[in-house]
Amino acid sequence: MKKNLPHIHRWTSAYKKYSPILSVEQKNWLLDRGSLTRRLMGCSQHSFRVNVVCEGVARMLQHEKQVLNNPSDCGWVREVELIVDGQVWVFARSVVPLSTLTGPDLKLRYLGNKPLGHFLFSSPRYQRSQFQIGRILNSDKELLWGRRSIFTCSHSHKSLLVSETFLPVVFSG
């Protein structure tokens, strides 16, 4: 699996650690519990689309495996770019334990260019955990902020991890 997208490897639930250095706009985006897909679509003047960078069975990163409390090394990993009016705004990585991919959740393997948010927010079955926040410098030495949370199915306790890394354009107003 090719790794083109930046990956944040250090996450913290201690939001207060970053609170003093985050702008109001950054906090607004990073802590919004609603559908990111819906919000990005609302920011679009012309188009919103999902570009799948890579998708398939792959090794989970160690921190992903730990936060999902998953004994298996592999999961269904999907990396996408969320594009607003032709410009990438967000890199997203979803990690789904293979044990989650049964029943109605098998659809997660066949999203293609459809947003994951449509699946997760179209049904009350999935509940979102608290956010963890992280940051990374990209290749242009820009500071990128990210968030991640676990979505857990209230009926089956199956879960998946969604990480979203925001490019500076998101916070420019």
CATH numbers and ranges of domains, the chain: 15-172 (3.40.1410.10)
In terms of pTM, does the model score above 0.85? Answer: yes
Instruction: Supply the pLDDT for residue 156.
Output: 84
Q: Comparing 138 with 145, which gets the higher pLDDT?
A: 145
Instruction: Supply the pLDDT for residue 1.
Output: 42
Instruction: Supply the pLDDT for residue 4.
Output: 56
Query: Torsion-angle region of residue 95: left (phi > 0), alpha (psi -120 to 50) or beta?
Result: beta
The string of pLDDT tens digits covering residues 31-50 is 999 999 999 999 999 999 99
Give all strands (DSSP E) within 60-124, no chain letters: 74-84, 87-97
Three-point CA angle 128, 85, 172, nearest 5°: 70
Mean pLDDT score, 10-25? 85
Q: Comparing 65 with 2, which gets the higher pLDDT?
A: 65
Instruction: Supply the pLDDT for residue 64.
Output: 95
pLDDT class for 2, splitting at 50, 70, 90?
Answer: very low
**% of residues, the chain, pLDDT over 90:** 76
**Position of tokens 């705004």?**
89
Return the closest-CA partner of residue 36 out of 91, 87, 105: 91
Mean pLDDT score, 105-115? 94
Instruction: Supply the pLDDT for residue 124.
Output: 84
Asked if the model's pLDDT at residue 3 lies above 80, the reply is no
Asked if the model's pLDDT at residue 151 lies above 80, the reply is yes
